Structure 1
């Protein structure tokens, strides 16, 4: 009788524990490792036609960004080198290209699977998530020096500290 109860108890625990632990593992894919990926459906290209400049904006999410702003700048800089965006846009002769890479942190308002929503009664665009913008990198064909704005923000998006760099030079 005791053996039968032990087997039933083991079966019940196995049936409940295994699926619950697998669900927990699937939801907890955040290993604490810093990771950057492009936010899908957010690339913007402006200035086609008769305009002098063509602006390219790409948006990225950083999971588990470093707290140190200098480390964050180095991370963004390295990502830009490993994932260049200049090659994707060709312009007519005489036009210049302006490049912007924006990096956001994950939050309750901006989860890792966020997508823009252009609904009839409500919209949700990246410009509504400036509170989660933690780094920006800008340059152009005319001035290829990369400019960085790196932010430490509170949970509600207030800037606690901001560092600005031109290449590796910290500027005011």
Structure 2
């Protein structure tokens, strides 16, 4: 029977490589952290310089109180009712971007096919809210197996809205 050795310590030569690898990894991590800290400090210095050059109290608001009152009053209920009355299962609105100053709304969406899009435009035009409905762009999505039509519409409303 071989002799029983109860030493849980391995030979010191085996640990030297592992200790060296851990030390090198720590040095690389420390170096990367130092570089990142220097980058963050440089960005903070640039922000401080911009803040000093353009203090908040010197920035003028985009519109004064008098200009804000000049924006026409919009009856949002009528716009949303017109959109709801023109809605169909074949057309989905993806974005609604109003521009009250120009009395215009931009609609981005998808239609099942071109006839569904044209029918949607007709319904928008006859809703009574919009004075002009213009198809700005459309594109058939060939990558999609159902080939839907992605579109952008500009709709203008009159003074009564």
TM-score normalised according to structure 2 size: 0.23
Which one has a larger percent helix, Structure 1 or Structure 2?
2
More strand by share: 1
